[in-house]
Homo-oligomer: A and B are copies of this chain.
Amino acid sequence: MYLIKSNGYNVEIGTKIFKSISSLITKNKYSSHFIICDENTFQFCLPSLIHKCPNLRDAHIIELESGEASKAINISTYVWETLIENKADKNAVIINLGGGVVSDLGGFCASIYKRGIDFINIPTTLLAMADASIGGKTGINLSVLKNAVGTFSQPKGVFINPDYLNTLPAQHYKNGLAEIFKIALICDKNFWNELKNTDTNSSKELLLLKSVTLKNKIVLKDPFDNGYRKTLNFGHTIGHAIESMLLGTNKELLHGEAILIGMMVESHLSFQKKLLSKKELQEVFSLLKKVFEPQKINELNLTSIIELMKNDKKSQGNKFQFALIDKIGSCKFDVIISDSQIKKAIDFYNSTF
């Protein structure tokens, strides 16, 4: 069992988290309990959670459809109306049992219901364990804009059970792995070197411990995203635009798949800005391609990408500001980039296939 201290709460990693969840719930004397899940966690994770935490037996279950489409305002309204119908007061708690969609939406709903009630995250995907459920960001999408509205709100606790990963399809495991490689790239060269030699399918608990610890350090330094935390956006400016562009087409990507391409394209931006050497650029491409086997994206349309980036939360006016690695294991932010540099980087990415 590992315990990482974050912003007023703990992240616990291990297969014995259920006792801690039970204690936290008992200690806080919540007036009512609401568990948000999707059809997958309803089937695979909820029964054992309730079995191992008997004080959740009376919990109200709110089941969402899995997938990004649930991170929406109408689903939030459905959650709030369910809370109201069941007379949830300010001392109610929401338990988010699921991936990033569940914790982003559930945290958002909790953080503004009656101006804020408690919530607890039990992430069930690697992406949520390594990234989404830590750092206090919540949010939902509006039309094509990811996390268009949201809050900075800390959970009362994050409980990570690596056993949940055994039920995850390989594609979803890699989806989370992308964020773990990102953390290594932006802040820990040794971890990157370890990843080169690790069978990422074993030693999941240690991978998680390492990446959660690294992400936690970054968010503690800058809880409201005013400076250093922006380094976490490496790969995300291009990645989000690609994700939005392909949303709803038959080429739709998972978040981690889009971020992976984003990291490769943005590494070339680093190279163009003379932040990254050619040798390190090749090292990044070579390891990411070996582990993730990404595809060439013929649909990459520069004009759409630029338009989507203009509406990204990270953009400020008409300048494009990127978080870019300046060597493996280190990252700068607010680097100004032009349209034509983006085009060059995308062309380079596609030319490597």
Contact = CB atoms under 8 A, between A and B. Distances in A.
A100 to B, nearest CB: 16
Given A73-B77, A315-B89, A316-B89, A84 B31 contact: no
A152 interface: yes
Given A89-B317, A143-B84, A316-B89, A112 B151 contact: yes
A149 to B, nearest CB: 5
A59 B51 CA distance: 56
Interface in A105-147: 112-116, 137, 139, 142-143, 145, 147
A60 interface: no
A116 B313 CA distance: 11
Interface in A288-318: 310-311, 313, 315-317
Contacts of A147: 114-115
A39 interface: no
B142 A316 contact: no
Nearest to A315: B89
A81 B150 CA distance: 14
Contact of A139 (B77, B115, B142, B313): B115
B149 A90 contact: no
B145 A84 contact: yes
Nearest to A111: B151
B114 A313 contact: yes
What 8 pairs between A and B have smallest CB-CB spacing?
A112-B149, A114-B313, A115-B150, A31-B317, A84-B145, A80-B142, A89-B316, A73-B77
Interface of A: 31, 73, 77, 80-81, 84, 87, 89-91, 112-116, 137, 139, 142-143, 145, 147-152, 225, 310-311, 313, 315-317
